[in-house]
Structure 1
Amino acid sequence: MERTVRAAVLVKPRTIELREFPRPAIGPDAALLRIEACGICGSDYEQYEGATPPHEDYTPYPVIPGHEPLGLIEEIGARARQRWGVREGDRVAVRSGYGCGRCAACGRFETRACRSRGGTYGYTDVSKPPQLWGGYAEHMYLCPHSVLKKMDPQIPAGVAVMFNPLAAGLSWAGTVPATGPDDRVVILGAGQRGLCCVIAARAAGARQIVITGLSRDSHKLALARELGADVTINAETEDVVARVREATGGGAEVVVDTTPYAPQSLGHAVAIAVRKGRIVVAGLKGQRPARELPVDDMIYKELTIRGVLSMPVDDTFRAVDLIESGRHPLEKLHTHAFPIEQAEDAIHALAGAVPGLNPVHIAIVPGAPPVSLGGQAG
């Protein structure tokens, strides 16, 4: 048994170091997870850049990033085994947040509503014992109030780890706007979560699905059609509002904005939405203000606008079930696996800053072969 654990530590903005930590002792209420894969999303990039605004999840550096972990239970305490219903060797998906374990919100597994919540994996200071609080590592500590979901170990790790973006899609394009068969749905942004929103909108029975992307997203827009999108729009070469209105016959009942660092997309969403429409805002804007937001249109149209950061536990569990069903070609979304040693490269790749790489979904996978930065691999 190894006495130390390697992890990638974000010591300050734009600086990641590989460090070793002592393997922690596991008490009766906790567990140690051997990381199989940890997904990367846009918030990892914002955290890396130092653009995460102060809020209840904010933690000063240094931290071990990674809030989308998938792994195998390597060691578990007796009470934790009974509480979670898992044992050594089981594969589990881990939700990002952990709470106090005593309040009504924690009883519903909704740790984001916990008033004294413990924190978030990937955003917890490494000075807090036992230090292993993030998924960019060989192992991660599971505190007593973690929320886990057992998963089929036969599913490739790169597919199984997509439980988090898929849960986001199910929530943002399905549960939150209460999408139904009469709804036209427009998804702004063709990243991993935008594509998962296509899956969710189709599962909800939407009568039409439109998705936008950039010129560099041509492969993602093609994949969106395969996943169920009816119309794809290049936001760089086409007038998004005019094209959506033309394609939908006037607008959409549901608009989901997943675009990062693009505050102008909020204006597009308001213009696209029909009267009584529902707008879900999920794409962080890097603290950039939306200076030309048409407030009067929001009022006259009586729009409902909802910001989302996470997703309900039910949608996480639904995502796991959907992955296990094999109904969707999720293997086409997972494109790259980076070893821990290349965590910084993985973040750059997700941001589109590595020439020759056109990723959709990226994961940190301990022990994965190195990714050549001269062309696609993974």
Structure 2
Amino acid sequence: MADTVRAAVQVAPRKIEIREFPRPKIGPDDGLLRVEANGICGSDVEIYKGHLGSASKGDPKPFVPGHEPMGIIEEVGERAAARWGVKPGDRVAVEIIVPCHSCRKCLTGQYQSCPNRTGSHGVTPVDVAPSLWGGFAEYMYLSPNSILHPIDKTLPAEIAAMFNPLGAGVRWALHYGGVRLGDTVLILGSGQRGLAAVIACRAAGAGKIIVTGLAADAHKLALAREFGADHTIVVDGDDAQDTVETVRELTDGEMADTVLELTPMAAGPITDALLAARHGGTVVLAGLKGGREIPLKTDVIINRALTVKGAFGVDNRANREAIGIIESRRYPLEKLHTHSFTLDETALAIETLGGEVPGEAPIHVSVHPNS
């Protein structure tokens, strides 16, 4: 058993170093995860570039990224095993937030708003012991307050690692967006979470699903149709379509019951989202804009009686429902996964998802630290 653990550490924008840390000592209340795979999302790309996180505030703190960790319980304390319902050898997915579990927010089910968080997987600096809080590491520390979800060991690692983007699709579309049987849904953005939202909406019985994307996203839009989208809209290039007018035509003027805005760093889709929603409809905002102020036509919200919700992360319920979708094997999720990388290739993995590697067409990308 090695005394040290290798991990990828982001030390500055666009700079990741492979470092070694002491293997954490596990007591009765905590555990150690052998990381099989960790998916990469758009926020990882923006943090890597310095657009989000501590670096964007001028105070970069080295940390081990990776907030979608999935792997095998390597060690677990006796009390922790009883609390989590796991044993060594079990496969689990780990939530990002590490709440206190004892404040009013936690006790009333609002643990993602916990003011006493004891850390967060994938963003906590390495100067917080025992440093290994992120999934881009051979082993990740499991705090006594970490939240774990069992997941089928027979699934390929890269498929099991999709629990977070699928959880986002479930929560943002169904729990925040309230999509119901027969509803019309507009999904702005065809990345992995947009495609996950298509799956969630189809599973919920949505009547009409419309997805937007760039001309460069043709492969994603094709996959959206395969997963159940009824219509796709290309918003740029020679064949660009006006999103709002196209939705109007496709719905005979009824517009969308629910609109999910999932595009990163773009301002225009916010206005499209408001204008494409029906009177009394719901708009869910989930695409981060790097802290920029985005022009907002509040009169549209008022005059159309819209409900606008901000989508924050993935919670316990959404993770469980997403894992259920994965374990059902009803959808060809292997078509979502396009790239697997080793720990030493972490920077390349992030750049690949960010579209910075010529000739590649990424959708779901994962790092496999022990491959």
What is residue 94 of structure 2 aligned with on the other side?
A: 94
SS in 2 for 1:28: coil
Q: Report if the CA contact (8 A) 1:255-1:278 is conserved.
A: yes
SS in 2 for 1:47: helix
SS in 1 for 2:247: helix
What is residue 82 of structure 1 aligned with on the other side?
A: 82
What is residue 188 of structure 2 aligned with on the other side?
A: 188
The 2-side partners of 1:196 and 1:131 are apart by: 32
SS in 1 for 2:360: coil
How far 1:109 sits from its partner (Å)? 6.3
Q: Report if the CA contact (8 A) 1:109-1:313 is conserved.
A: no
SS in 2 for 1:289: coil
What is residue 335 of structure 1 aligned with on the other side?
A: 338
SS in 2 for 1:194: helix
Q: Which runs of 5+ in 1 are unaligned?
A: 369-378
Counterpart AA for 1:329: P
What is residue 48 of structure 2 aligned with on the other side?
A: 48
Counterpart AA for 1:295: T
What is residue 328 of structure 2 aligned with on the other side?
A: 325
Distance 1:59 1:187, change over 3 A: farther
What is residue 282 of structure 2 aligned with on the other side?
A: 278
How far 1:3 sits from its partner (Å)? 1.1
The 1-side partners of 2:293 and 2:278 are apart by: 24
Listed one character per residue, the Cα deviations across residues 20-45 of structure 1 (whole Å, up to 9, x for unaligned) are 11111001100000000001001111
Q: Which runs of 5+ in 2 are unaligned?
A: none
The 2-side partners of 1:150 and 1:254 are apart by: 31
Counterpart AA for 2:27: G
SS in 2 for 1:279: strand
The 1-side partners of 2:368 and 2:335 are apart by: 17
How far 1:107 sits from its partner (Å)? 4.4
The 1-side partners of 2:277 and 2:367 are apart by: 37
The 2-side partners of 1:19 and 1:95 are apart by: 24
How far 1:59 sits from its partner (Å)? 8.4
Listed one character per residue, the Cα deviations across residues 314-343 of structure 1 (whole Å, up to 9, x for unaligned) are 111111111111011111101111111111
Counterpart AA for 1:275: H
The 2-side partners of 1:348 and 1:133 are apart by: 22
Counterpart AA for 2:244: V
The 2-side partners of 1:202 and 1:283 are apart by: 21
The 2-side partners of 1:312 and 1:131 are apart by: 24
Query: 1:281-296 maps to which residues of 2 (within 5 A)?
Result: 281-291=285-295, 293-296=296-299
173-182 vs 322-331, greater mean Cα deviation = 173-182
Query: 1:1-378 maps to which residues of 2 (within 5 A)?
Result: 1-52=1-52, 60-107=60-107, 110-236=110-236, 237-250=240-253, 251-291=255-295, 293-368=296-371
Structure 2-normalised TM-score? 0.95
The 2-side partners of 1:108 and 1:335 are apart by: 39
Listed one character per residue, the Cα deviations across residues 247-279 of structure 1 (whole Å, up to 9, x for unaligned) are 122210100011001111100001101100100
SS in 2 for 1:335: strand
Counterpart AA for 1:325: S
The 2-side partners of 1:180 and 1:249 are apart by: 20
Query: What fraction of aligned residue pairs are identical, expressed as a percent?
Result: 50
The 1-side partners of 2:156 and 2:222 are apart by: 23
How far 1:138 sits from its partner (Å)? 0.4
How far 1:182 sits from its partner (Å)? 3.5
Listed one character per residue, the Cα deviations across residues 133-169 of structure 1 (whole Å, up to 9, x for unaligned) are 1000100000000110111100000000000000000
SS in 2 for 1:327: coil
SS in 2 for 1:38: strand
The 2-side partners of 1:256 and 1:226 are apart by: 19
Counterpart AA for 1:286: G
Q: Report if the CA contact (8 A) 1:59-1:123 is conserved.
A: no
Counterpart AA for 1:103: C
How far 1:119 sits from its partner (Å)? 2.4
Q: Report if the CA contact (8 A) 2:159-2:333 is conserved.
A: yes
Counterpart AA for 2:97: G
Structure 1-normalised TM-score? 0.94
